[in-house]
Amino acid sequence: MADQKISPMRLHGFLRKEVLQIRRDPSSLLLGIVLPVLLLFIFGYGVSLDPKDVPMALVMEDHGPEARDLATRFDLSPYIEATAAPGMADAEAWIREGRVDGIIRIRNDFSSTLAQNGRAPVQLIQSGVDANRARLIQGYTRGIVAKWIGVRRGRGEAAAAAMVTVSDRMWFNAARNSTDFLVPGLLTLIMTLIGTLLTALVIAREWERGTMEAILATPLRPVEILIGKLLPYFVLGMTGMGLCVVLGVTLFGVPLRGSVLLLITFSSLFLLACLGFGLLISAAVRVQFVAAMLSVIAGFLPAFFLSGLLFDLDSTPLAIRIISHIVPARYFVTISQTLFLAGNVWPVLLPAAGILALMASVLLGLARRKLVRRLPVP
């Protein structure tokens, strides 16, 4: 019968071998120590459910003392960053272009109505692209109005509890349906997963299975290998995206108010950026497990947390906001939600599409350069 006792000498020798293996493989140190600290830093600061400094347009049509006093309360709020708009036409243009999340309008008869009836309305118009954010803004606005009434009472002025009411209206998503907001954003996560994860494995798989040598024995040049690895997954990703769009519109009833051609074009740019990032990972590492982990940690998780789909980026520290600008998903979330809910809003779409095109070019160029360096030219 074999000896079942643990030998300290054997165990010490085996542990020493594993430690040496870890020291020789920098990817283990990267995955085990560096990335957890980096992720905790990014997501600990980046994840916030409490939007602050929400950009709002303030339209002052009444300049009476009560109206100015109420406007001051909006200026003092830490939750709302009110910008005075010259008029409703300008404010409506701002909300269409995504520069503000809503409009606070104090009508020209606010003071006179308040004096005559003892109560007057304040109009709140919001972008309903993010229904949950709109509900929070509505709560902020009502809270500011209630605080203003409390301050008036504190000064000994007559102030009924309902002297000012908030009359709200929602643009782009009148039903406040969160599905209309989530489904276009989920397209981003699905395409990130398909584009980055699948292509991150393709070249690493060839190295790991030992078939790369057979490919190198052919007359194929590195750029031809790159195109051959890229094109099938591009077609696969676009097919998956098309199916998701059809299901989103037909099964979940999400409106598609923008151009289908624009959606296809901008989706192609985003998918090329994801494929380029995946191929860059695949060209850099030869182990499938490491490539898969890197694609999830550096590709999918930033798309989930730092794209603005679920968490408000404007409320995060400046460093996190800067990092989020290098995440391609941030721009495609903006594009997909705009095309689905608002339509062809060019001031929003063109800058985001331009950045995606630049990112796709850079990532594909880096992937090609890395691959050419690692593969001998026949």
pLDDT tens digits, one per residue of 97-114: 888 988 999 988 888 888
pLDDT of residue 46: 61
**How far does Cα 162 stand from its chain's mean position?**
38
pLDDT of residue 42: 66
In this model, does residue 270 exceed pLDDT 90?
yes
Phi, psi of 281 (to 5 degrees): -65, -45
pLDDT of residue 59: 92
Structure tokens, 249: 């519109």
Structure tokens, 144: 């500011």
Looking at domain 54-155, its CATH superfamily turns out to be abc type-2 transporter like domain (3.40.1710.10)
> How does pLDDT run across 217-249, given as a tens digit for each residue?
777 777 788 888 888 888 888 888 888 899 889
Better pLDDT: 119 or 250: 250
Residues 332/356, Cβ–Cβ less than 8 Å:
yes
Look at 16-20, 158-162, 205-209, 269-273 and tell me which has the smallest mean pLDDT: 158-162
- Specify which residues 104 forms β-bridges with: 58, 124
* Pairing outcome for strands 102-106 and 164-171: unpaired
pLDDT of residue 54: 87
pTM for the whole thing? 0.76
> pLDDT band for position 295 (50/70/90)?
confident
Structure tokens, 82: 């009110």
Residue 363 identity (one-letter amino acid):
L
Give the whole-angstrom CA distance, residue 58 versus residue 88. Answer: 9
Give the whole-angstrom CA distance, residue 302 versus residue 328. Answer: 9
Domain ranges of the chain: 14-47+177-374, 54-155
In this model, does residue 259 exceed pLDDT 80?
yes
> pLDDT band for position 372 (50/70/90)?
confident
Residues 243/251, Cβ–Cβ less than 8 Å:
no
Structure tokens, 153: 């009472």
> How does pLDDT run across 29-50, given as a tens digit for each residue?
766 677 667 777 766 666 666 6
pLDDT of residue 58: 92
Cα 58 to Cα 14, 170, 179, distances in angstroms = 70, 16, 29
pLDDT of residue 210: 78
pLDDT of residue 27: 67
